[in-house]
């Protein structure tokens, strides 16, 4: 007998194929790009991790597990590893397994200030220029940092701005990290399938500034959710004219590269490890995966199923040795 989850996935894929084949089928939210034709085979989703602050090495495998369960997806998680194969988020010049991007249907990126060698950087760039969908979390606004090579400065700010919609600017302050939520998150009024079932919530991520004052979101970025900072260093310093308390935290956009191929892009500045303990954050993330893959019609009105089938107890954010030591990559199952 076919398991229930497999039955559900087969039904969703067949339904998507049927809807795409019907001339009178309604189209939803095609302001970025039209959904791509649904393949008969499950998608391959590659999660690129590598940040020394926000425990992406813990949150992304959890999200990959949900995508595997709900979409029957093939999932690959790429990690920053030391020379012995141990996960080391502090190693900024290496991410293992990026060759998987050659066959990926979606890249999910959560990196921070990486200085990858050319061969690894090109694997990411080749994917982005291919027109396939892209998804990013929080520090992907500053995914790379090349300090000493003038020829690579493009990757520091211009690349994330064009691809994801903004570069690193500032945030409203750490305060008591992980002790209490710092940003109130609310959906904007216009309906969107990514927001299905996503209730307002309070996030542990301190609010990033991405729009307002001297800055604005890039290109055709369309905000879906906004955050309001509950504590703000900019308010304390009387700088709210430049850095207002309210800012977009989630948006969709498109990216068209040098080859003229247009990608769907979903981005959120949220991503504190404790955020993913919250059902609305997990639902937003998995809904975003569906949307990026062109499967928005398969997102239930109540949102995707993000119930955890095993504990998710990440370490808090922070630098240095705040991550769990001596961990090796494990198969997602």
Residues near 284 by beta carbon (within 8 Å), at least 6 away in sequence: 194, 195, 198, 225, 250, 268, 270
Confirm whether 284 is domain-assigned.
yes
Question: Mean pLDDT over residues 173-191, rounded?
Answer: 92
Segments of the chain assigned E as strands: 44-50, 74-78, 106-111, 134-137, 170-171, 183-187, 201-203, 208-209, 222-229, 246-256, 262-268
Which stretches of 129-232 are DSSP H helices? 158-164
Q: Among candidates 294, 241, 283, which has minimal Cα distance to 131? A: 294
Render pLDDT for 138-166 as a digit per residue (tens, 0 to 9).
Answer: 999 999 999 999 999 999 999 999 999 99
Segment holding 7, helix H or strand E: helix 4-21
Confirm whether 278 is domain-assigned.
yes
Confirm whether 190 is domain-assigned.
no
Confirm whether 48 is domain-assigned.
yes
For the cut 60, the answer to whether the pLDDT of residue 275 exceeds it is: yes
CB 218 within 8 A of CB 249: no
Q: Among candidates 299, 243, 242, which has minimal Cα distance to 266? A: 299
Render pLDDT for 288-309 as a digit per residue (tens, 0 to 9).
Answer: 999 999 999 999 999 999 999 9
Strand partners for 203: 183
Distance, CA of 162 to CA of 128 (rounded, Å):
11
Residues near 257 by beta carbon (within 8 Å), at least 6 away in sequence: 128, 129, 131, 263
What the block records as the tokens of 249 is 């935290």
Confirm whether 193 is domain-assigned.
no
Residue-range definition of the domain harbouring residue 153: 4-17+37-168+248-298
Distance, CA of 278 to CA of 59 (rounded, Å):
12
Three-state DSSP at 101 gives: helix
Confirm whether 77 is domain-assigned.
yes
Give the whole-number percent of the chain exceeding pLDDT 90.
85
In this prediction, residue 40 carries a pLDDT of: 61
Overall domain count for the chain: 1
Render pLDDT for 184-208 as a digit per residue (tens, 0 to 9).
Answer: 999 998 899 999 999 999 999 999 9
Three-state DSSP at 236 gives: helix
Confirm whether 228 is domain-assigned.
no
Confirm whether 330 is domain-assigned.
no
What the block records as the tokens of 137 is 């979390």
Looking up residue 289, the CATH number of its domain turns out to be 3.40.50
For the cut 50, the answer to whether the pLDDT of residue 29 exceeds it is: no
């Amino acid at each position: 007998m076919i398991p229930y989850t497999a039955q559900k996935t087969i039904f969703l894929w067949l339904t998507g194929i049927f809807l795409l084949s019907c001339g009178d089928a309604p189209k939803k939210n095609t302001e970025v790009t039209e959904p791509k034709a649904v393949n008969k085979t499950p998608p391959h989703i590659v999660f690129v991790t590598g940040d020394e602050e926000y425990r992406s090495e813990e949150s992304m495998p959890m999200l990959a597990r949900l995508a595997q369960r709900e979409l029957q997806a093939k999932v690959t998680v790429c990690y920053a590893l030391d020379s012995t194969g141990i996960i080391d988020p502090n190693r900024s010049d290496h991410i293992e397994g990026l060759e998987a991007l050659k066959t990926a249907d979606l890249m999910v990126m959560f990196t921070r200030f990486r200085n990858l060698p050319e061969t690894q950087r090109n694997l990411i760039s080749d994917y982005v220029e291919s027109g396939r969908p892209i998804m990013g979390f929080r520090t992907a606004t500053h995914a790379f940092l090349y300090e000493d090579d003038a020829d690579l400065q493009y990757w520091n700010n211009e690349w994330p701005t064009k691809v994801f919609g903004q570069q690193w600017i500032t945030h409203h302050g750490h305060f008591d990290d992980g002790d209490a939520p710092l940003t109130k998150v609310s959906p904007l009024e216009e309906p969107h399938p990514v927001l299905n079932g996503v209730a307002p919530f309070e996030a542990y991520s301190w609010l990033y500034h991405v729009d307002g004052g001297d800055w604005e979101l890039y290109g055709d970025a369309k905000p879906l959710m906004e955050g309001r900072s509950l504590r703000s260093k900019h308010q304390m310093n009387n700088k709210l004219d430049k850095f207002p308390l309210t800012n977009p935290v989630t948006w969709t956009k498109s990216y068209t590269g040098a080859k003229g191929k247009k990608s769907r892009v979903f981005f959120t500045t949220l991503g504190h490890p404790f955020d993913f303990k919250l059902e609305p954050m997990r639902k937003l993330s998995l809904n975003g995966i569906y949307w990026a893959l062109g499967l928005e019609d398969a997102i239930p009105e109540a949102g995707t199923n993000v119930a955890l089938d095993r504990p998710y107890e990440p370490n808090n954010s922070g630098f240095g040795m705040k991550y769990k030591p001596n961990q090796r990559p494990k198969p997602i199952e």
